Chain A
């Protein structure tokens, strides 16, 4: 009699506890992420697509993750300008947001990185973490590196490692032409390309190097004429925006036979401009490929259904995967602890197991070489409804492309002064395919 009553009481208690659990589950801590990128102005199209990507991935991750948090993306428009970036950062800080996302433009990235460092130095206890998801200037993880900045895309030298590796394995390429945009990014690409090719294929000649004023050139045919006159076998270009699409169009119209190694042929709108022509000539060296199996396929399908555009920024998924893994490890959402947890963290994302190197906060991930080909069974994803796709040719694991870190950063002292908020509920793992 006593034991059955005890058993009855304990079962009632358990039932009550179970009823109470969902109530606490509803109150997951909300982590606000400030998205600072152009939403109006000449770069609005890319910025809006990036914002939608972040919001889409946040919705997915909010269904359940190991850290037990909910992400909220708060957009700020920086119009692509540095001063507006700093204003937007101030506005985000005034709203109490502790995490900042930015990627469009290394100029804004460098300015933001400095602004974040200054803010964190002047206001200890109110630190902000900056996730840079697209700017790839090597100074961000090199001479201007900062403890609070985390780079999620491969830097310029890493991408060029993959590119020059492919050239090394193609003996038919003997003459290379460089066409870059005339600012520090383009000059760095040219410099690293020369150095790496000299090391890997001393027999390859750089037969020409041209810098084009940013966004000014309408007619690329004289550059194509120079490439032809130099009898180049391939062009290496890190151009983006109309500088890339106009170059490719001019090459197509002139019937140029050289291959084109690009950084940004998969950016929003570029595949449509390339069109269903020129199979095999345009090559893409990027941290992603639209035909990768796994969670990327469901993300692409879901994004297309919702927004009628291609999911061209999969690094957003990596960013939230990183944050949830770090918050799980740190058992906290405080930026300082999360930043410390992110250093050296290995986690799983759409392109496999990746590591965030502690020395310079650079994410080390695979880099893929693809070429523009008609859709096939092996590569079925139709990019921007052109009937063509980026066919995966080669995968470069991180150890093949990574260079030694060139950063000496000041790290804040580790002290456990912040209140630790462990997650109450551990739901299932980060949502995979559903």
Chain B
């Protein structure tokens, strides 16, 4: 039981990191209608900027500078490229962000090399918070959870209660009216793109010491983010929370399950599939695939199920333009 509780807590820290990433993505999609394919690259850039400025200013300086740097770059890109493409529709914007993503990864390779950089947990945050089931719950994981919750709480408060937040919320659904009232909607859009990127950069800065900091981290995180986003429901912050929690815990807890479909069928009384040799044939191999082995695939299976049964995501209502 203790190990299960520890696993759930570890899964929670992983979920909160995912949430930090996906909340930026969903924010950008809500206001700009653009699926930001460069989000994984912003995450990677945040990690590298944090490490590099950490060399000069220490871990905390790096943590502060990284989201700022990423926000600056994202804002610049929005003004220079995305604004020009906005009249053309969402697809050119999506492609532009995809190109930016690749350019950022290659630039990181050029600046810091293709090998991983040793971005490690700072000495002040090493050690454990408590011990459960014979294993430590690392202090740094608690720190990641705290940072994620603080950043998200701050963003939510800003959106809800500040003036700029109200303008953003209004612009989400009535952009033209907000512009007619005299607010600079284009500036708001740039600010939101930069803020979403900053959240992603913060996730990179704070999460990378737990993981590996290398140029490939952008691609490996990128696809998972879309799965989380779509499972929860596009454009809804509540959906991002649900999606991140579901995917994070699913991936973590599925590892503990050692059964396969063949075992389930056996339980239900059908013994034949258990006898099929696992090596021959596609179907037999699939039946004998342990859930633990498939843990990394489960988000995509869930995404498929959600897309087929409830394409608007788990938390949203069906939009009028999505019926057919």
Q: Indicate if A touches B (C-beta under 8 A).
A: yes
| Residues on A facing B (Cβ under 8 Å) | 42, 44-45, 48-49, 182, 210-213, 215-219, 221-226, 228-229, 242, 245-246, 249, 253-256, 268-269, 272-273, 275
Q: B220 at interface (Cβ–Cβ under 8 A)?
A: yes
**Minimum C-beta distance from A323 to chain B (A):** 28
Assembly CA distance A256 to B136 (angstroms): 8
By the criterion CB–CB under 8 Å, are A229 and B3 in contact? Answer: yes
Q: B138 at interface (Cβ–Cβ under 8 A)?
A: yes
Set of chain A residues within 8 Å of B136, measured between Cβ atoms: 253-255
Identify which of residues 269-314 in chain B touch chain A, using a CB-to-CB cut-off of 8 Å.
Answer: 290, 292-297
Q: B177 at interface (Cβ–Cβ under 8 A)?
A: no
| Residues on B facing A (Cβ under 8 Å) | 3, 6-7, 10-11, 14, 109, 113-116, 118, 120-121, 128, 131, 133-136, 138, 140-141, 210-212, 214-216, 219-221, 251-253, 255-256, 290, 292-297
**Minimum C-beta distance from B213 to chain A (A):** 9
Q: Taking chain B's interface residues, is the majority helix, strand, or loop, or is none over half, making it mixed? A: mixed
Set of chain A residues within 8 Å of B116, measured between Cβ atoms: 45, 242, 245, 269, 272-273
**Minimum C-beta distance from A188 to chain B (A):** 13
Set of chain B residues within 8 Å of A256, measured between Cβ atoms: 135
Q: If the complex has contacts A210-B292, A217-B296, A219-B10, are A242 and B141 also in contact, measured as CB distance less than 8 A? A: no
Residue of A219, A268, A269 ringed by the most chain B CB atoms within 10 A = A219
By the criterion CB–CB under 8 Å, are B11 and A222 in contact? Answer: yes
**Minimum C-beta distance from B203 to chain A (A):** 12
By the criterion CB–CB under 8 Å, are A45 and B6 in contact? Answer: no
By the criterion CB–CB under 8 Å, are B113 and A213 in contact? Answer: no
14 contacts between A and B (CB under 8 A): A45-B114, A210-B255, A213-B297, A216-B220, A219-B252, A221-B6, A225-B6, A225-B10, A226-B255, A242-B212, A242-B214, A242-B220, A249-B210, A254-B135
- Known A221-B252, A225-B256, A254-B138; 7 more pairs at CB < 8 Å: A48-B114, A213-B296, A219-B11, A221-B10, A224-B135, A246-B211, A253-B121
Counting from the closest, the 4 A-B pairs by CB-CB distance are: A216-B296, A45-B115, A45-B114, A222-B255
Assembly CA distance A275 to B141 (angstroms): 18
Assembly CA distance A242 to B216 (angstroms): 10
By the criterion CB–CB under 8 Å, are B118 and A226 in contact? Answer: no
**Minimum C-beta distance from A310 to chain B (A):** 11
By the criterion CB–CB under 8 Å, are B128 and A45 in contact? Answer: no
